[in-house]
């Protein structure tokens, strides 16, 4: 394939104080270099949009990944097709996953890319799903056991929707989810098979959670923090386990999180609260992938995806994502 001369990419124009807006980003047509020996050129097909990107844009300290720098192209997970290869380990036509999203074309060392099976899923975009994050958080971090009652916050999102369904498939006796609209609540108990769900805007979360879980909860998959984390601690049974996956309360422009509040229940109930990142658990990828493909094939799990067409619409779509406008995984389609 002929090497393209230019491609679109998104760069950070200004550092937002809160939620970023479209004016904080620039859409630029940039030169596409030919790959040097050991490199390949990838035409990106889909890129992932994730709430953590808001914190990367604002320069939040202490994150487990590099922040976005002013004037530089953004980064994030993407899946694409090798169009030109200068390394024998990858051939033209190979499908690869990498961290050079927010651009139409990426040139990178072959070792920075991971080849994936084109036939594994109906669409290449499913390689960007957060099912592995949910699986690791439940099985490795929270040590899910058959018979557990599980609460998942932001349960209609990319990770939460997977966590609730996987918990059910792995033997949870009751799965409860929170969401931000009545429509999403109905989506959880209808299409996704949650046993109960509530809108976290409908009064104190601790009251809604007690109603949904009168016998308490054993596992909390936390995507939000803030009030929902504090409610989970209060309702949790002795020896309960909390997997801290995200901080959507902070990522969506809320006040700085005050954490779990009174720590005495952590002591008296002997609770476990543990944060995690996927990079520490990639050894579970093959195990999860085999199960996930089987669940999809058998119709045991529902995978919801919001697809945004065109790189130019990605900044606005990111803002919509953290405001709760989308259901399931959000991706931007870059290629036909």
219-229 pLDDT per residue, tens: 999 999 999 99
List CB contacts of 133: < 8 A, sequence separation 6 or more.
Answer: 159, 162, 245, 278
- pLDDT value for 64: 73
pLDDT in tens, 131-172: 999 999 999 999 999 999 999 999 999 999 999 999 999 999
- pLDDT value for 259: 62
Mean pLDDT throughout 272-290? 91
Kindly indicate the confidence band of residue 19, based on its pLDDT and cuts at 50, 70 and 90: confident
- pLDDT value for 323: 87
Under CATH, which architecture does the 131-279 domain have? 3-Layer(aba) Sandwich (3.40)
Kindly indicate the confidence band of residue 257, based on its pLDDT and cuts at 50, 70 and 90: low
Kindly indicate the confidence band of residue 3, based on its pLDDT and cuts at 50, 70 and 90: confident
Residues of the chain with CATH 3.90.180.10: 6-123+305-333
**Distance in angstroms (rounded) separating the CA atoms of residues 208 and 198:** 7
**Distance in angstroms (rounded) separating the CA atoms of residues 160 and 228:** 14
**CATH 3.90.180.10, applies to 6-123+305-333:** yes
- pLDDT value for 126: 95
Kindly indicate the confidence band of residue 324, based on its pLDDT and cuts at 50, 70 and 90: confident
Provide the total of helices (H) and of strands (E) in the chain, helices listed first. 10, 15
Residues of the chain with CATH 3.40.50.720: 131-279
At 65 the three-state DSSP class reads coil
Report residue 256: phi and psi, to 5°.
Answer: -50, 135
Length of the chain: 336
């Amino acid at each position: 394939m002929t090497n393209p001369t230019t491609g679109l990419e998104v760069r950070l124009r200004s550092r937002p104080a809160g939620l970023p807006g479209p004016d904080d980003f620039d859409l630029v047509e940039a030169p596409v270099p030919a790959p040097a020996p050991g490199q390949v050129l990838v035409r990106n097909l889909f890129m992932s949009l994730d709430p953590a990107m808001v914190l990367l844009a604002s320069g939040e300290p202490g994150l487990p990944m590099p922040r976005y720098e002013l004037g530089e192209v953004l980064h994030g997970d993407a899946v694409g097709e090798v169009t030109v290869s200068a390394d024998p380990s990858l051939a033209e036509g190979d499908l690869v996953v990498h961290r050079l999203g927010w651009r139409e074309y990426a040139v990178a060392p072959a070792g920075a890319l991971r080849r994936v099976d084109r036939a594994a899923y109906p669409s290449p975009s499913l390689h960007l799903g957060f099912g592995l994050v949910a699986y690791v958080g439940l099985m490795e971090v929270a040590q899910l056991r058959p018979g557990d009652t599980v609460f998942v916050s932001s349960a209609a999102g990319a990770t939460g929707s997977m966590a609730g369904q996987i918990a059910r498939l792995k033997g949870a006796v009751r799965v409860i989810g929170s969401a931000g609209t009545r429509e999403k609540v109905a989506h959880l108990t209808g299409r996704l098979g949650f046993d109960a769900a509530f809108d976290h805007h409908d009064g104190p979360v601790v009251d809604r959670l007690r109603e949904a879980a009168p016998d308490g909860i054993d596992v909390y998959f936390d995507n939000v923090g803030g009030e929902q984390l504090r409610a989970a601690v209060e309702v949790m049974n002795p020896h309960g386990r909390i997997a801290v996956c995200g901080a959507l309360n902070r990522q969506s422009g809320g006040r700085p999180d005050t954490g779990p509040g009174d720590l005495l229940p952590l002591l008296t109930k002997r609770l476990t609260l543990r944060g995690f990142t996927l990079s520490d658990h990639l050894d579970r990828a093959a195990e999860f992938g085999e199960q996930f493909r089987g669940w999809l094939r058998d119709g045991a799990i529902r995978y919801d995806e919001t697809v945004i067409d065109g790189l130019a619409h990605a900044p606005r779509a990111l803002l919509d994502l953290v405001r709760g406008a989308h259901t399931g995984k959000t991706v931007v389609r870059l290629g036909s």
